[in-house]
Amino acid sequence: MSVYRRSFPEGTSERMRALMSEARNISELKRAQCIYFRSGHGLPPRRIADMVGFDVGTVRNLHSAFLRDGEAALKLSGKGGRYHAYLTEEEKASWIEGFRDAFDPGGILEVGKIQAAFEEKVGRKVAKSTVYDLLHRHGWRKITPRPRHPKPNPRAAASFKKTSAAS
């Protein structure tokens, strides 16, 4: 048996047994087992980790979270999220709409100016690709003139040169 500094509250073992039978997926079951094996049998974290298939650090973190937060520590929050976003999607949409009014249809938009305004808004430097991605997501597109006609006709060009008023 392992010696723990703090023990779980009374009735934890019975509650974990009930939670294990109510588990909707394997992850909930394993988290409840981590608490049950310590509260009901006093097993050390390394042994629990081997039995459940978690890392020892995960078992220890789960134990301390359970002592701190109770059963709320067993609830899994959703994975993923917008951890590194500069602004929320709503903030970005309203901010970019301000530029739509500033440029009339057919006007020229300089991304450098939008990048400077975005950096001022978020309070830090951002990559130009970030601004291009933002514009693309909100329906803006890069339109550049073609350097030459896609289907050139050399004879028509030569004829035009001979008959144009400039010659």
Can you spell out the DSSP letters for 32-46?
HHHHHHHHHH---HH
Ranges of each domain in the chain:
12-74, 89-137
pLDDT per residue as tens digits for the range 99-116: 776 666 666 778 888 899
Cα 31 to its chain centre, rounded Å, is 25
Cα separation, 58 vs 73, in Å, equals 12
Average pLDDT over residues 38-45: 92
Better-scored residue on pLDDT, 144 or 27? 27
Q: Which two tokens stand for residue 120?
A: 């001022």
Mean pLDDT across 7-31: 92
Look at residue 111 in the predicted model and tell me its pLDDT. 85
Q: Is the pTM of this model over 0.75?
A: no
Hunting for tokens 């976003």 — which residue is that? 85
User: Which residue type sits at 12?
Assistant: T
